[in-house]
Structure 1
Amino acid sequence: MTMQKLLSKARKAIQDFDMIQKNDKIAVGLSGGKDSLTLLHILKNYQRFSPQKFELIAITLNPGGVDNSPLYKLCKDLDIEFHEVQTDIKEIVFDIRKEKNPCSLCANLRRGALNDTAKKLGCTKVALGHHKDDAIETFIMSLFYEGRVNCFSPKTYLDKQGITVIRPMVYIEEYMTKKATKEFNYPVIVNPCPANGSTKRQDVKELLAQLNSTMPGVKKNIFGALNNSEKLFIWDKDKIK
């Protein structure tokens, strides 16, 4: 039942944003966390009945010193081609650059390495495991920390690499990935990042949980605003004048 619900929400997102085309070769960014593991299983199941036939592979970036052997076994069991890329991301971010706020640099390095690898392997799409809660948190972080109305897109074409990034789980709440991970016993790789659990995103996550408890439905309304372009109104000086 859990997988059916996940597939239903993923299928709607895929259709709403036209994420998958015939003969696509899709690389799943497999970090080994609950979200990327859930995404891999969703797309493997979706592949069986998708009206558009597509190829599926998995790419894991090793930031340095992580044992990803469970992911090798998982992909072998699922009959999914698996690629592990060794990187120096952890050393660059924490030892060389000594970043106080490492998330942005780390994300850029990981994104570049993943997209470059996918392109070299002949992929047309890269699938990321961002879910509904990630979208809400990103929207609030952009508003609070950057002073702008912004969020990642469910589908983005990258001109430089010539590939498209898709996020099939944007309609799926985080609690569902936690439930799937526990129910199906996914081989989660512990996040090796020294900053894990003490980031701005974690602060926003906790703030939203508090707001949602005192104002039930606030997260639902924020996500609704992301999908309501017709009601968007900001102070455009030229238009208002």
Structure 2
Amino acid sequence: MIDEQFADAKAPTESAYFRKLQKKLRRQVSWAIRDFNMIEDGDVVMVCVSGGKDSYTLLDILLLLKRIAPIHFDIVAVNLDQKQPGYPEDILPAYLNEQGIAHYILEKDTYSIVKSVVPEGKTYCSACSRLRRGSLYGFAKQIGATKIALGHHRDDMLATFFLNLFHGGALKSMPPKLLSDDKQNMLIRPLAYVEEKDIIEYAKLKEFPIIPCNLCGSQTNLQRAIINDMLREWDNAHPQRLASIFKAMQNVAPSQLADRELFDFETLTLDRDNDERLFEGDNIQAGQTDSLAEIGLPVSPRTQTFNPKFASDKPYSTETDKAAQNERKAQKIPTINPVI
């Protein structure tokens, strides 16, 4: 794989490996946009760019799709400079200008606010995220952006699912599309179908100028990091497991869970017909027959070996069934080709 990736070391984005990977990401993002109606004709999509691999990849793929999409939509990149110590504030503007991408850089010292409200030793991520989200939501409305695109990918959604499962007591995750609580903004996650390992490869080949996300020094011992390690171990040992879990998130059966708000268990009632279906077996032993009779239950329930009426409901076939089927096949009248 390494030879395939870097066969042309001078131009990794011209390799067959890169073109194949880019096509895969473009296809997955297109599917997510289609499945959840994320982007419509005339939309102004505000792509939140943090300087990490995910947001760079999101912006790059959306710009690619914009050029070939059958509808018209505009893209504007927005970065919030939160004034973290050591933040390289020149990297993103330089990259966006070099690529000719319309953008805004918002400057707001949320770092000092977070430091003042979060107790020493606690992680800043939750408070920092809330402040960042509020600023970006308000700015999207201010400039008239109709969609806010975030760089969360499939593995982020899985990690959030397990964080809520293990620590929040809830079956919920990050949805691919979300209307904000105040109904003022629509959030979309076009990378919903994309695996993180593919984003890592894509970012390496594109040589994005990555800005580290641990400048605040609060990233150690996060539960999310522990969950991410668990997911990576699963993916290495069982490559299809994460895909199966994500598929399960798209295939929810409320009647098979225990949420009384989601499914009405209290009013469930029987709707039996008058057809009697006898137990298919050899014998039924009844004990304490006097008590059974007192309850009104049969003392000697009948049995049957096989009832063809219920054959279509059977999850398996007995040897007797197979013999009967073979006999019916043998007696079948052959079809004569009229041309012959």
TM-score bin (small chain):
over 0.9
CA distance in 2, matches of 1:17, 1:152: 13
In structure 2, what residue type is equivalent to 1:67?
P
Q: Give identity over the alignment, percent.
A: 33
> Residue 58 of structure 1: which of 61, 72, 77 is its match?
77
TM-score with structure 2 length normalisation?
0.67
Q: Quick one: distance in 1 between partners of 2:115 and 2:34?
A: 40
Alignment of 1:22-61 (within 5 A): 22-61=41-80
Partner of 1:116: 138
**Could you say what the CA RMSD is over the residues aligned between the two structures, in angstroms?**
1.9
**In the superposition, relative to structure 1, how do residues 219 and 162 fare at CA in structure 2: closer, same or farther (>3 Å)?**
same
Which residue of the partner structure matches residue 90 of structure 1?
Answer: 111
| Closer, same or farther: CA 28–141 of 1 in aligned 2, 3 Å | same
In the TM superposition, what is the alpha-carbon distance from 1:94 to its structure 2 partner?
2.4
Number of residue pairs matched?
241
Q: Is the 8 A contact 2:152 2:189 kept in 1?
A: yes
Deviation per CA, 1:17-66: give whole Å up to 9, x if none. 00001111111110000000000101110100112211111111111142
- Counterpart residue number, 1:74: 95
Q: Which residue of 2 aligns with 1:170?
A: 192
| Matched residue type, 1:103 | C
Partners of 1:24 and 1:52 in 2: CA distance? 9
Counterpart CA distance in 2 for 1:138 and 1:6 is 22
Q: Distance in 2 between matches of 1:193 and 1:234?
A: 40
Find the structure with the greater CA-based Rg: 2
User: How far 1:9 moved relative to its partner?
Assistant: 0.6
In structure 2, give the amino acid aligned to 1:9.
Q
Question: 2:29 matched to which residue of 1?
Answer: 10
- Matched with 1:240 is 265
Residues 59 and 84 of structure 1 are in contact (CA less than 8 Å); yes or no, is this contact kept in structure 2? yes
Higher relative contact order (Cα pairs below 8 Å, separated by 6+ residues): 1
Counterpart Cα distance in 2 of 1:236 and 1:39? 35
| CA apart distance, 1:207 | 1.8
Shift of 1:109: 1.0
| Structure 1 residue matching 2:173: 3-state secondary structure | coil
- 1:8 to 1:186, Cα distance in 2 relative to 1, 3 A: same
Unmatched segments (≥5 aa) in structure 1:
none
In 1: Cα distance, 2:104 partner to 2:40 partner: 23
Contiguous gaps of at least 5 residues in structure 2: 1-18, 267-340
Map Cα deviations across residues 58-93 of structure 1 (whole Å, 9 max, x no partner): 111111142232211222233221111112222122
